Amino acid sequence: MILFFGTRPGKKMERQLHGVSCSHCNQMGTLTLVSRPNYFHLFWLPLFTIQTSRYAECSHCKRVYHEDEFTAEMKRSAS
């Protein structure tokens, strides 16, 4: 019997962070939170989430903040 298994990224979910300013360009309301789950799959069917990567991107200066770089203001708004 042959089993096809592995990992694969899921659909990207985006959400605006309202009331949060970018610490690089100081523009208010330009940050977008992006989260993308990574699934374990069997026969190309996702079974469970292994991890979820999250980052925020400023639409004005294009600066990307990884989850370990989030400010306290970003963490409050993201949860």
pLDDT in tens, 3-59: 888 999 889 999 998 888 888 888 888 899 999 999 999 988 899 999 999 999 999
Mapped to the 3 state alphabet, what secondary structure does the chain carry? CCCCEEEEECCCEEEECCCCECCCCCCECCEEEEEEEEEEEECCEEEEEEEEEEEEEECCCCCEEEHHHCCHHHHHHHC
Q: Domain count of the chain?
A: 1
Domain range for residue 49? 5-78
- pTM for this structure? 0.78
